Chains A and B, each alone.
Chain A
Amino acid sequence: MTLVHNWHLGRRMEYPYFESRPKRQFAAIFNINRCIACQTCTMACKSAWTYNKGQEHMWWNNVETKPYGGYPQSWDVKTLKLIDNGENTWYTNEKDEKLSPYGVYEGDTIFEAASKKNLNQWAVGYIPEDKEWRSPNFGEDVAKSNKPDEHSELPEHSRWFFYIQRLCNHCTYPGCLAACPRKAIYKRKEDGIVLIDQKRCRGYRKCVEQCPYKKPMFRGLTRVSEKCIACYPRIEGKDPLTKGRPMETRCMTACVGQIRLQGFLDDNPKNPVTWLIRHDKLALPLYPQFGTEPNIYYIPPRWAPRAYLRQMFGPGVDEAIEKFMVPSRERLAVMSLFRMAQAIIFEYKIEEGPKVFETVIHGKKFEMFNDTVIGYGEDGQEILRTTVEEPIHIRDPKYLNSI
């Protein structure tokens, strides 16, 4: 084991390989508050990559309902039990903006739990059986409630559920990559995408076992495992639509609810993804305590019980919800970029506009400015230009009933 720094945990942790961060990391932000679980993302992925024989059970992208849903069933509860994380043990009194923005996690990661238990493998894990993969929308729309006819009111609903959108997290310290005894799994230096080499894989299912998010899947037909490939041809700009520019994945661009923004985590503070994750801390990692440093980030749902959310997204939840409910001028502008283009935005610029609205939310003053946000591509060229107030187009009465 070597020691690597995991900024989600705010500390160094054990990992079988040395720390080696990609030039830029594939990352995405999902605004849970806006998701309606229409599964358009799920079908966009399915129809692109997993419609083939032997992939019937595979949903590289899926949307499940929390707390009861799970694909595979109860994947998160089962893995949390393996790291004995009944209670969240975080030390949050001291934080470092760069090294420990959420505080310090004091429990065990999946890697540390395995070495503590002397399992003689790299991480704790389990292989979900075929029946556990079979019902991806099991528990959908089922609310948690303590008693019938319960009245719910913000800030926290006592009767609640929310949707969680999941795909491979293309982790910085992937459990699957650590687990593979053949080194058939690799993380690309250029964009941090994690892939299974279909030629080297021998179907041992160690990745299925040791990925805490259960995103590598075994394909009975080919006897080897497969996983989300982050639509890498699109990321490489091979899709003719964006004319060579890096393009967001199928599941991202298909998002009807406009909850998704995909890009790269890099050092540029004016990169919308980097800004929302590292600077604004509005978007949080899913189960950071697993220790893999996942790269899909979530804006937590503001109505759900905080204790549940803290277990799921770490101690940054309260601050993130606070920020989401009363967004700052810059935050509101950056959030207007969600789903405005298919090409990946590498940098944004805000042109100030007039104040259009003012109110008080939870005792805090909120002002809305109709700023213009401009998104730039990898080449520095302008990709899009949008305003905070959504532009309204009124159709000519002549064409009212036509397309």
Chain B
Amino acid sequence: MAPGSTTKGSRRRARAISSLVGGVLAVTGAVAVGTAVAGQDPAPPGGPREAQPSHAGSTPADSGQQRGSAHAGRDGPRASPPAMQWSRPVRVSIPRIGVTSGLEDLGLDAQGVMRTPQDPARAGWFTPGPAPGVAGAAVIAGHVTWDQQPAVFFRLGQMRRGDRVEVTRDDGTTAVFTVSRVAEFEKRSFPTGAVYGRTDRPELRLITCGGSYDSRSNSYAANLIVWADLTGSRLSTTR
């Protein structure tokens, strides 16, 4: 065999091998990157931004004595159904974002901060506050994400005014609420009065996290809050 043909042959072989290796790597790489990219969850949707809390008198929401009411004066007086009897809430249903969840009990920690649900797939009811359906502002909170997976209130930012929220209660009745406002607040200017403050009518607040996520502190910079008013009630078909 001539030396030239040996060189030629090995070159051909090298070309073939590098083609094969290159092809396999290219396909493997493309599949891996494609899978990883397809597996990316988007950041949770945010609500309308309200950087400042509603200072007393600065917005209709906080004027007068109805400190907690989201829309006092904004819509004018609205006929609202009478308050329901107290009963423990057992389930929240939010058709707009396809959420139905049982409810954990949420109290305060030793510092007086509201606890959050232990199960990221479930929402929780703030038991020191009113029950959904009685006069006052009932609060239901849920996680937006947990361990890099969407949690129960992941899509809460998609809620819009007029959307329905239903709370099934232990006495077999369902309280029907209608969303009046959706807004996001920086946590450092959390609108405590407008969320937990006294209301004479039955209202509901849904709370989750929002805003930018800080991976170092493992927390979000904002809270996304949904305000809703009791607009009806009925006997539940199922409990």
The answer to whether A and B interact is no
Please report B residues at the A interface, Cβ cutoff 8 Å.
Answer: none
